[in-house]
Amino acid sequence: MKRLLIPLKGDEIAPRFDLAPEVMIVTVTDDGEIAEQRLMVMAHASPESLCELILKEKVDVTVCCGIEEEFFQYLTWKKVRVIDSVVGSCERIVDCFRTGTLTPGTILR
């Protein structure tokens, strides 16, 4: 079971982690099925609040586009895997994650 968090802007991944207005939290079972999917609206966009949410929600993997080094290091230190510089729609990113083909820098056109 893995909990995945994707900062969103509309249906697509947000260009920046620190300015994402909403996030999608997806729970994926070991055999790649989606057990739960939730959309959360951030009260205000802030990287600190997002880090706090990631830890509170016990997220295992964060998929984002642009992220600052200090937040990347912070999450990594907190044992959260960060896959950054990813571009694409939320749906395709989740599909890619389920098949184990999502890597940093993946561009899903």
Partner 1 sequence: MDSNEDAWKFSIMTSSQSAKVHGLLEQPIALSQFINEAPIGILVVDPELRVVLMNRALEALTGFVSSEVSGVPCCFVLRTNLCLDGCPVKNLTPQGGSICLESNILNKNREKIPVRVTTSALIGEKGRIVGYTKSVEDMRYLQKADGAGGRFSFGNLIGNSPEMQRVFRLLPAIAQTDSSVLITGQTGTGKDFVAEAIHNASQRSRSPFVKVNCGALPESLLESELFGHQKGAFTGAIENKPGRFRLAHNGTLYLTEIGDLPLNLQVKLLSFLDDQVIYPLGGSRGIHVDVRVIAATHRDLEGMTRQGRFREDLLFRLNVIRLQLPPLSQRGQDINMLIDHFLHHFNTRFRKKIKSLSPRARKILLEYSFPGNVRELRNIIEFAVNLSDGDTIRSEHLSTYLKTPIPVQVEAETNPPIEKKEIVLETSHNSLNLDWAHVEREMIMDALVKARGNRAKAAKLLGLGRSTLWRKMKNYLIVP
Give contact residues for partner 1 (rule: CB under 8 A).
Answer: 9, 13-16, 18-21, 45, 48, 65-70, 72, 84-85, 87, 105, 107, 109
Q: How far is the CB of 15 from partner 1 (least distance, A)?
A: 5
Residue closer to partner 1 by CB (options 22, 95) is 22
Residue closer to partner 1 by CB (options 25, 87) is 87
Q: How far is the CB of 69 from partner 1 (least distance, A)?
A: 4
Hey, which bits of 10-95 come out as E strands? 12-13, 22-28, 34-41, 61-63, 81-83
3-state secondary structure at position 48: helix
Residue closer to partner 1 by CB (options 2, 19) is 19
CA angle 19, 15, 78 (to 5 degrees): 65
Q: How far apart are CA 35 and CA 20, in angstroms?
A: 24
13 — phi, psi (to 5°)?
-60, 145
Q: How far is the CB of 82 from partner 1 (least distance, A)?
A: 10
Q: How far is the CB of 92 from partner 1 (least distance, A)?
A: 14
